[in-house]
Amino acid sequence: IMIHQGKIFMSGEAQFKAHEMLECADDLKESNDRYYNVLASASKGKMSYADVVRACKKDTYYDCKQALELGLIDEIASYSKK
């Protein structure tokens, strides 16, 4: 599993006024804040809000065991060929 901050992608020809960019930045900050709270809450105290923010500042990868230990996933599914 990978966790990261939200991102905004703009096309090469996109033009925005300063107030539009600021509104977009505010929306992104609000969206990231909700995401961080969800992850911190899901971890049931294993990751603080600050831990989540720190991990999301870069793309952070967790293997399935780490994700389970941190409460980011509920279970590890098994797969068997038949």
Ordered per-residue pLDDT tens for the chain, 82 residues? 999 999 887 777 778 889 988 998 999 999 999 999 999 999 999 999 999 999 999 999 999 999 999 999 999 998 888 7
pTM equals: 0.80
Alpha carbon dihedral 67, 51, 40, 66, in 10-degree steps, equals 10
- CA separation, residue 17 to residues 14, 26, 47, 81 (Å): 10, 14, 38, 55
The conformation of residue 35, written as its DSSP 8-state character, comes to H
pLDDT at 15 (0 to 100): 83
Question: What is the predicted pLDDT for the residue at 14?
Answer: 78
Taking the C-alpha atoms of residue 67 and residue 65, their distance in angstroms, rounded to an integer, is 5
Residue with tokens 């901050």: 5
